[in-house]
Structure 1
Amino acid sequence: MAELEAQVIPRDDEISKELNIVDFEGPDDVENPFNWPTKKKARQLVLMSFNTFITPLASSMFAPGVGDVMKEFNVTSSMIGSFVVSVYILGYCFGPFIIAPLSEIYGRLALYHICNIIFLIFTIACAVAQTMPQLIVFRLFAGMAGVCPLTIGSGTVADMVPKEKRAGIMAIWSMGPILGPVVGPVAGGFLAEAEGWRWVFWVIAIATGVMIILTMIWYRETYAPVLLKRKAARLRKATGNSNLRSIRDTGEPISQLFLSALGRPLKLLFGSPIVSMMALFSATIYGYLYLMFTTITSIFEDKYDFSPGIAGLAYLGFGVGCMIGLVITGIVANSIARNHVKRGCFRPESRLLPMMVGCWFMPAGLFWYGWSAQADTHWIVPIIGTGCFAIGLMAVFSSVSTYLVDSYLRYAASVTAANTALRSLAGALLPLAGPSMYDALGLGWGNSLLAFIALAMCAVPFIFWKYGAKIRTHPRFQMKL
């Protein structure tokens, strides 16, 4: 009997330890971002979407002015011309591995502000660059800072939005990384033609300056571990109880936490089949997107005699397709989540259903675009093909982001960093092969090659729909993160 009581009755030190734990005050605590007023959440999400739109906009808005840059700096290599555009995306490969760990130690807010200011500085540097090497280096550093909202944006959504509403918000957030590069060449084509390529960077810098002012005023910290850490510090000061600790406090020193967090994106990328395959799928389509971005202007100028400004309008097919994909994916995904939550059968794999249908639009769009451009059909036909591709792109991009966040919710920034880094590497390098591939195979077979690869990748969501839960819970893939 005494042994039983000893097991049931907690010891004094255990009671003392529990009393010193700081957590949110129940499910309705207003300090918890999940319980923020709708107006406060909406303001944060709108600004975050604006932030996530501006920095990808800079990746491609400059593309129509590359010819003028090459003339001014006496550069004749087409590969260098493609690289000065894609080097920005190369910066996306390195930035996440620093930004994600820091955000999981110091929170989202500081990283947003610091990276936005660095992005502004290097955008201005691009506007005043005097040589091609200078422009390439400044673009690289601008990309490293500009990737911040793409890296931790999904984590910010997960911090505030419950899972039954998360897919729709993630779809809106996902619009920035896709629609920004689509809108960029449309505006950049006319701007570069009218005012010169340097004004492209000045316009981006002005927009970034406005964004920084707004975010400085209205952004708030959303990361629960940091909020609880601050709450514990306030209570220690108010009560004089030095033993108060956040429930999320592991007791590890900052240096150890940083080293652990630094390797987390790589652990997820190479240690989890879910992250590896989903990131590979995302990287494939993102590489295709930037390959098309860097070649579509020259294709429509050569085949349809478009001026640089009018050639920028060819990107509107992507824009319309992205909007269609965004609306359909968001509505369907939220409906599925609500239904599955109500029935008690929600799991991260529930996010894959829109992707299982939408992914087929990508190979269809690639075939359509390539062969219609090869056959010199009316200019609207290949543009419709790019719109078909964009519908599938949004379905995949949004579903992958939400699925990975739901699978690794606490480490949303790290898993997004892994995904962002791999897809950005593809987005930076694949365009370099575009001109030579089209020269060797033509537009028809060149895009058909891409379509066949995309067709094979369409098996990925079906595999994880069936086996994803088993893989996530298998001891072999249970990593210490």
Structure 2
Amino acid sequence: MLDDEKVDLFSYHELRAGRLVIDPEQAKVELGEVLYSKLKLTADGTKVLWPQPTDDPNDPQNWSDRRKAVQLIVITLASFIPDFDSGIGIAALFPLSVQFNTTTGVINNLTSNWSVFLLGWGGILSVMLMRRFGRLPVLFWSQILALGFLIGATFAPNLKTFAAMRCLTGFIGSCPQVTGLYVITDIFPFHLQARKLNIWAAAFMLAPLVSPFAFGFLVARASWRWAYGTGCLYGAVVVLLIVFFMEETMYDRALKPIPPRPSTGLRYRVETLIGITGWKMAKYRASVAEVILAPLNVVWRPQFILVVVFEAMIFGFSLGVAVTNVVFLSSPPPLGFGFSQYAVAGTYGTPIVAVILGELTGRFLNDWIMNVSIRRNNGVFEAESRLWATYISVPLYVCGFLALGAGIQHTIKAAVIMGWGIAMFALMINTVVVYAYCNDSFPGQQGEISALLTLARTLGGFAVAYFQVPWATKVGALETFGVEAAIVFGLFVVAVPITQLKGRYFRERFSI
């Protein structure tokens, strides 16, 4: 039984990292009658709400469903931008090599690979700023600057300028991919978060595939600058959506007393957007030293590092495929298929459909696993139950990669299409599972875990483009993709069972 005087229900979910009482009857047993009487439940009374909403109408947990949906839509559209902009270079790879009188390898290494690499590091900086100044101003200014750098890439007169603009776009523009997890946990209760994570994660999963698909057809008929110009238009639309519809979701519920808003009405809206409100509120929040050290405080935790290394490889190899497949498909036999620009663009339609199917499957699969786990565990949710979905995703991923490698080596079109699709379907399910597990295990560090996961998957992926094509040329694509699949499977065998068996101990011993 807990001491009623010492328990703060508004921050209780952070203290019980990875273990939450969801069933009201079990909550009555664990928390006692007094605390139970203070709990707020779902409208149907079947689940305890975590985090517990306050009585303040400004608390994002109390917003209407429509208001929450608008925030999710805007942050999802914004999260599409970083990898979408990076993927434009895949579609424009051959035209860029002609424009700047160099090889496709130089273009890939100098622009695409480095812009992917910098996506992860930019997310770390964004989280540090958001912990101090709020979600909205950092998101707004980062997208303004990213749009400016993308415009610079569109009109770049030479390769050096183009490469610099691409890299700056990637570094500055990555903010939405770490803001999304913050926004979802700020406005949605625990039992809905995995479902919303599916929607948000689908954006950055689809982004590097949609741009080669859409702009592959465009650059076949028009200049590559039109492709980047279209990316600028999309970025401008998202900036306008942020200005007019996005709201500050950061709510300092753990502070006692909760600081009042420094202004109201239109003035509050403008000051919050540009960062004045965040500047005023920073004195109540984590110090500069704390926000700088926070990622380091998370990264070494065993319940985090095991699954993150596993996710880095499974996502990284897939990201590398999105970059290098254009080379395999466009190159003449025996290395590739000799496809036209139109045919290459068309092949990217398969992984797009696969990601959408993975999102739909994962949405119901994660909820089903969560509900079954709660029932079997007497109304209590344990974070490690999330990982059961990886036992479905990893075997599918291995099969997909083997089919993809065999298809490329023996120039079997159907094998390439099916293998790529199966791998991306599996990746979509796996990525959401890892994000959800880490989010459950570190409920007070959503920004840090999101930034570190983004960094891990970009570090795992940017280097693949350097070695995958030369390796496949030397030993064959089947061996190349087979070894990559074996690495993923080996990490899965090590990371997931250990985390499931020892996860509760890790959380009790190493939680923040």
Unaligned runs of 5+ in 1: 1-7, 11-23, 238-250
Q: How does 1:272-291 map to 2 (within 5 A)?
A: 272-291=301-320
| Alignment check: 8 A CA contact 1:102 1:258 kept | no
Q: How does 1:193-272 map to 2 (within 5 A)?
A: 193-225=220-252, 232-234=259-261, 257-269=287-299, 271-272=300-301
Q: How far 1:279 sits from its partner (Å)?
A: 1.9
Compared with structure 1, are the counterparts of its residues 473 and 171 closer, same or farther at alpha carbon in structure 2 (3 Å cutoff)? same
Distance in structure 2 (CA, Å) of the matches to 1:25 and 1:47? 25
Compared with structure 1, are the counterparts of its residues 26 and 172 closer, same or farther at alpha carbon in structure 2 (3 Å cutoff)? closer
**Residue 483 of structure 2: SS of its match in structure 1?**
helix
- Who is 2:452 aligned against? 418
Compared with structure 1, are the counterparts of its residues 185 and 358 closer, same or farther at alpha carbon in structure 2 (3 Å cutoff)? same
| Alignment check: 8 A CA contact 2:132 2:285 kept | no
Q: How far 1:282 sits from its partner (Å)?
A: 1.8
| Alignment check: 8 A CA contact 1:79 1:432 kept | no
Structure 1 length-normalised TM: 0.86
Match among 357, 363, 373 for residue 398 of structure 2: 363
Q: How does 1:56-455 map to 2 (within 5 A)?
A: 56-76=83-103, 78-225=105-252, 232-234=259-261, 257-269=287-299, 271-301=300-330, 302=332, 303-341=336-374, 343-377=378-412, 379-455=413-489
**Residue 388 of structure 2: SS of its match in structure 1?**
helix
**Residue 225 of structure 1: SS of its match in structure 2?**
coil
Compared with structure 1, are the counterparts of its residues 305 and 349 closer, same or farther at alpha carbon in structure 2 (3 Å cutoff)? same
| Alignment check: 8 A CA contact 2:442 2:511 kept | no
Distance in structure 1 (CA, Å) of the matches to 2:85 and 2:92? 12
Q: How far 1:464 sits from its partner (Å)?
A: 1.2
Distance in structure 1 (CA, Å) of the matches to 2:368 and 2:166? 41
| Alignment check: 8 A CA contact 1:92 1:144 kept | yes
Distance in structure 1 (CA, Å) of the matches to 2:329 and 2:52? 60
Compared with structure 1, are the counterparts of its residues 226 and 65 closer, same or farther at alpha carbon in structure 2 (3 Å cutoff)? farther
| Alignment check: 8 A CA contact 1:359 1:392 kept | yes
394-403 or 224-233: bigger deviation: 224-233
Q: How far 1:463 sits from its partner (Å)?
A: 2.1
Q: Which one-letter code corresponds to 1:473 in the other structure?
A: E
**Residue 303 of structure 2: SS of its match in structure 1?**
helix
| Alignment check: 8 A CA contact 1:62 1:200 kept | no
| Alignment check: 8 A CA contact 2:407 2:414 kept | no
Distance in structure 2 (CA, Å) of the matches to 1:40 and 1:227? 23
Q: How far 1:231 sits from its partner (Å)?
A: 6.1
Unaligned runs of 5+ in 2: 7-50, 265-280
Q: Which one-letter code corresponds to 2:485 in the other structure?
A: A
- Who is 2:74 aligned against? 47
Q: Percent identity?
A: 22
Q: How far 1:173 sits from its partner (Å)?
A: 0.6
Structure 2 length-normalised TM: 0.81
| Alignment check: 8 A CA contact 1:354 1:399 kept | yes
**Residue 471 of structure 2: SS of its match in structure 1?**
helix
| Alignment check: 8 A CA contact 2:94 2:104 kept | no
Distance in structure 2 (CA, Å) of the matches to 1:9 and 1:430? 55
**Residue 463 of structure 2: SS of its match in structure 1?**
helix
Deviations 1:46-71 (A, max 9, x none): 11111111222111122121111112
Q: Which one-letter code corresponds to 1:366 in the other structure?
A: F
| Alignment check: 8 A CA contact 2:132 2:282 kept | no
Q: How far 1:117 sits from its partner (Å)?
A: 0.4
Q: How far 1:335 sits from its partner (Å)?
A: 2.5
| Alignment check: 8 A CA contact 1:70 1:81 kept | no
Q: How far 1:156 sits from its partner (Å)?
A: 0.9
Distance in structure 2 (CA, Å) of the matches to 1:197 and 1:265? 38
Q: How far 1:362 sits from its partner (Å)?
A: 1.1
Distance in structure 1 (CA, Å) of the matches to 2:148 and 2:256? 32
Distance in structure 2 (CA, Å) of the matches to 1:257 and 1:427? 33
Compared with structure 1, are the counterparts of its residues 45 and 274 closer, same or farther at alpha carbon in structure 2 (3 Å cutoff)? same
The count of residues paired between Structure 1 and Structure 2 equals 442
Deviations 1:352-377 (A, max 9, x none): 12223212211111101101221222
Q: How far 1:233 sits from its partner (Å)?
A: 4.0
87-96 or 76-85: bigger deviation: 76-85
| Alignment check: 8 A CA contact 2:406 2:415 kept | no
Q: How far 1:383 sits from its partner (Å)?
A: 0.7
| Alignment check: 8 A CA contact 2:215 2:345 kept | yes
Q: How far 1:387 sits from its partner (Å)?
A: 0.7
Q: How far 1:350 sits from its partner (Å)?
A: 2.3
| Alignment check: 8 A CA contact 2:131 2:286 kept | no
Deviations 1:372-428 (A, max 9, x none): 221222x12211100110121011111111111111111100111111112212222
**Residue 221 of structure 2: SS of its match in structure 1?**
helix
Q: Which one-letter code corresponds to 2:505 in the other structure?
A: K
Distance in structure 2 (CA, Å) of the matches to 1:51 and 1:399? 22
RMSD: 2.6
- Who is 1:473 aligned against? 508
Compared with structure 1, are the counterparts of its residues 464 and 193 closer, same or farther at alpha carbon in structure 2 (3 Å cutoff)? same
Compared with structure 1, are the counterparts of its residues 456 and 26 closer, same or farther at alpha carbon in structure 2 (3 Å cutoff)? closer
Q: Which one-letter code corresponds to 1:410 in the other structure?
A: G
**Residue 458 of structure 2: SS of its match in structure 1?**
helix
Distance in structure 1 (CA, Å) of the matches to 2:504 and 2:468? 38
| Alignment check: 8 A CA contact 1:49 1:176 kept | yes
| Alignment check: 8 A CA contact 1:171 1:398 kept | yes
| Alignment check: 8 A CA contact 1:100 1:151 kept | yes
- Who is 1:32 aligned against? 59
Compared with structure 1, are the counterparts of its residues 253 and 217 closer, same or farther at alpha carbon in structure 2 (3 Å cutoff)? closer
Distance in structure 2 (CA, Å) of the matches to 1:447 and 1:170? 29
